[in-house]
């Protein structure tokens, strides 16, 4: 299989898992009335389902985005940083202040992974 097809499938499978997690947390919040978790829900939905779904679509539409070391670094940086960021955000909401440095670092590394994607889009489309 082409690299872009493999990458597209990987991003979409992960996106679908985040979609499930987001709606389950949404249903939990709605049913329990405990809406404290809405920042986790919203970020899982938008950085997980929506953004990863768009990464999947982008690497499938423009295979050059999935090639080379930068694409691999972007994939792994994003997929390690986002779950750490979501768990530490949940920890902060639960009142565990010790997770705050982890939340800070994982927020920055998630943002770096997004910037790598943006750099790829700006420099590789049309190659
Ligand atoms: C079954 C599906 C879903 C359920 C049951 C659900 C439920 C909820 C609930 C209970 C809240 C808290 C509302 C409040 O602050 O009073 C919320 C907030 C939010 N949800 Fe969902 N949600 C669902 C799907 C989604 C999806 C698919 C997205 C985005 C792609 C999304 C994005 C957001 C955002 C951005 C907020 C924060 C809004 C704000 O506080 O202004 N949700 N959701």
Decide: 42 in ligand 1 pocket, CB within 6 A.
yes
For the stretch 62-104, pLDDT in tens is 999 999 999 999 999 999 999 999 999 999 999 999 999 999 9
Taking the complete model, does pTM exceed 0.75, yes or no? yes
Report residue 126's pLDDT band, with 50, 70 and 90 as the boundaries. Answer: confident
| Per-residue tokens: 82 | 């986002």
What spacing in Å lies between the alpha carbon of 30 and ligand 1's midpoint?
Answer: 9
CA of 88 to the centre of ligand 1 (A): 19
Cβ–ligand 1 contact at 16 (below 6 Å): no
| Phi/psi of residue 104, nearest 5 degrees | -60, -50
Kindly give the distance from the C-alpha atom of residue 74 to the centroid of ligand 1, in angstroms, as a whole number. 27
């Amino acid at each position: 299989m082409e690299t872009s097809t493999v990458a597209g499938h990987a991003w979409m499978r992960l996106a679908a898992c985040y979609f499930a997690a987001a709606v389950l947390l949404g249903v939990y919040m709605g049913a329990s009335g405990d809406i404290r978790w809405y920042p986790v829900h919203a970020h899982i939905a938008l950085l997980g389902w929506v953004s990863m779904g768009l990464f999947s679509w982008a690497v499938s539409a423009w295979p050059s985005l999935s090639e080379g070391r930068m694409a691999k670094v972007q994939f792994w940086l994003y997929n390690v940083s986002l779950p750490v960021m979501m768990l530490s955000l949940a920890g902060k909401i639960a009142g565990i202040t010790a997770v705050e440095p982890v939340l800070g670092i994982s927020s920055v590394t998630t943002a770096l992974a997004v910037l790598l994607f943006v750099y790829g889009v700006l420099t590789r489309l049309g190659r």
